[in-house]
Amino acid sequence: MVITAVMKVGVLALQGDVREHISALIACGVNPIPVRRRQELDAVEALVIPGGESTTIAHLAELFDLIVPIRSRIARGMPVYGSCAGMILLAQNILDAKAGQKSFGGLDITVRRNAFGRQVDSFESDISFADGSKELVRAVFIRAPWVEKIGQGIEVLAEIDAHPVAVRSKSILATSFHPELTGDHRIHSYFIEEVARTALQEVQ
Amino acid sequence: MGEIVMSQEKGTGRVKRGMAEMLKGGVIMDVVNVEQAKIAEDAGAVAVMALERVPADIRAQGGVARMSDPDMIQMIQAAVSIPVMAKARIGHFVEAQILQSLNVDYIDESEVLTPADYKNHIDKWGFTVPFVCGATNLGEALRRINEGAAMIRSKGEAGTGDVSNAMQHMRQINGEIRRLSSLREDELYVEAKEMQAPYELVREVAEKGKLPVVLFTAGGIATPADAALMMSMGADGVFIGSGIFKSGNPAQRAAACVRATTFWDDPKVIADASRGLGEAMVGINVADLPAPHRLAERGW
């Protein structure tokens, strides 16, 4: 692989705010493509799982045979970032899930769905994000989950009221909030430059 | 970390409009009881609309159609984990206040119910809960956004199973958006006047080439092919009312419509989704409906 090649980043496009993630990734200088099929997944080096309805995305992923391929790519080190529903889909354990709700897993965390409440409790707030910058980041929480329990090797990057809302484990990043809605691409840029590029260079 | 407690702002434009962004590419299904809500959730619906009668029954039974019983809405909220929406009558801000107090996730100020005010819609800015409103053209959509709607759905003729009105209104709205984008800046003032919409919103649409909020479609969608048709016309997602639970095999039809909405551009997937669904809802041709019974014409 040529180091100077533009990174190919897939956005899982079964349902949700795919367009916003694609715009944010373009702003980060990578080449984003929507992923709905196995061949499209095989063509990308990293994957973003958007915000949306986690039960719907899981349902469609199962129907179109994407659960196992995504799970095994993650296990083999594919860098992946999930926002909100994406965090739920990357969690090993889900609380308040629909009966039998599947996830891709990969992150040794337990998340609670809709932990902050229903839509009337959705909010935005400035929070600190541990990427080395002291600047606060505007975070939009929509029927958002939080991390209830973390396993080994999980780094907490942001929290609200002692609940982790941004976590990382090597090549996997997850946030409860939606940086794709604010026009500030700091979190996406952190994913591309710090998480994905590092992980892909190690694989080489 | 966390030594400073930052303020948490609820009910902002971003939070309300953002909620609709999360529903994109999905199907929102009308349900009248817990059993239907669970079928919808299992089929992959992104949200359910809790109401007492689906539009086809409102049409058949007549009378005044109102907000649903709070008990029924709360039973559905308790039964499913996906967002639950509910309908208030046009202009009936007290019904909307009640729905907000029940913590519904979105209020549909809907022409399917009998209007409570034939002049004014609800002032939606005062609410924490977001609103979706119907529109048949761009001016109507922008008037609703000006009143605080955080999501728009193109109106079809609800309860008919006839997709022609949804098609017409989606073409109308998107056609007007394309036309706005082609105008000179100094022509937008008169355009706003003629459209009876605020100039700032008209200019925003002209610049961006799209509505400032998510645009779903609704009314008369009864098959996976209908859902895919509306997605290919530029809808961000689909509301299905009577089309699912007035059909022969609701669970299968619901799942099929979800698949077709995601793969709207793949006829092979839509063909597979369309196989063996049993009977579709019987349907009424919109052309056969006398004008006073046309719901899409409600709203101003």
**pLDDT for the residue B2:** 45
Residue A104 CA from chain centroid, whole number: 11
> Cβ of B21 and A56 within 8 Å?
no
Residue A163 near residue A175, CB atoms below 8 Å: no
B15 and A CB contact within 8 Å: yes
CB contacts under 8 A, A 5-34 vs B, are 13-20
B45 and A CB contact within 8 Å: yes
Nearest to B150 by CA among B9, B14, B6: B14
**pLDDT for the residue A3:** 52
Helix (H) or strand (E) holding B59: helix B55-61
Residue A64 near residue A37, CB atoms below 8 Å: yes
Question: How many helices, marked H, and strands, marked E, lie in chain B?
Answer: 13, 9
Of A117, A128, A142, the CB nearest to B18: A142
Q: Rounded distance, CA B81 to CA B76, Å?
A: 9
Of B6, B43, B128, the CB nearest to A127: B6
B263 and A CB contact within 8 Å: yes
Q: Rounded distance, CA A57 to CA B119, Å?
A: 41
Best B81, B107, B264 residue to mutate vs chain A (most A CBs within 10 Å): B81
Residue B30 near residue B57, CB atoms below 8 Å: no
Dihedral over Cα of B111, B117, B121, B123: its sign = negative
Name residues of chain B where pLDDT drops below 50: 1-3
Residue A91 near residue A105, CB atoms below 8 Å: yes
Which positions ≥6 away from B35 have C-beta within 8 Å?
none
Which positions ≥6 away from B136 have C-beta within 8 Å?
B154, B155, B169, B172, B173, B296, B297, B299
From chain B, pick out residues whose CB is under 8 angstroms from the CB of A59: 42-44, 258
DSSP code for A37: S
Please count the other Cβ atoms lying within 10 Å of the Cβ belonging to residue B252: 18
Side chain identity, residue A19? R
Q: Rounded distance, CA B291 to CA B118, Å?
A: 17
**pLDDT for the residue A204:** 66
Q: What is the pLDDT of residues B47-99, one digit of tens each?
A: 999 998 888 888 888 889 999 999 999 999 999 999 999 999 999 999 999 99
> Cβ of B25 and A14 within 8 Å?
yes
> Cβ of B24 and A59 within 8 Å?
no
Best B3, B10, B22 residue to mutate vs chain A (most A CBs within 10 Å): B22
> Cβ of A85 and B22 within 8 Å?
yes
Q: What is the pLDDT along chain A (204 residues), one digit of tens a residue?
A: 445 579 999 999 999 999 999 999 999 999 999 999 999 999 999 999 999 999 999 999 999 999 999 999 999 999 999 999 999 999 999 999 999 999 999 999 999 999 999 999 999 999 999 999 999 999 999 999 999 999 999 999 999 999 999 999 999 999 999 999 999 999 999 999 999 999 998 876
B12 and A CB contact within 8 Å: yes
Q: Rounded distance, CA B291 to CA B18, Å?
A: 36
**pLDDT for the residue A4:** 56
**Residue A151 distance to chain B (closest CA, Å):** 19
Nearest to A144 by CA among A190, A167, A178: A178
What residues of A act catalytically? 84, 178, 180
From chain A, pick out residues whose CB is under 8 angstroms from the CB of B108: none
Nearest to B152 by CA among B201, B118, B192: B201
Residue B285 near residue B293, CB atoms below 8 Å: no
**Residue A101 distance to chain B (closest CA, Å):** 10
B287 and A CB contact within 8 Å: no
Q: Rounded distance, CA B14 to CA A200, Å?
A: 34
What residues of B act catalytically? 87
**pLDDT for the residue B207:** 97
ipTM of the complex, rounded to two decimals: 0.95
Of chain B, the percentage scoring pLDDT greater than 90 comes to 82
**pLDDT for the residue B4:** 56
**pLDDT for the residue B52:** 87
Of A97, A121, A161, the CB nearest to B81: A97
How buried is residue B29: exposed, middle or buried, by Cβ count under 10 Å (0-12/13-18/19+)? Answer: buried
Of A53, A113, A162, the CB nearest to B2: A162
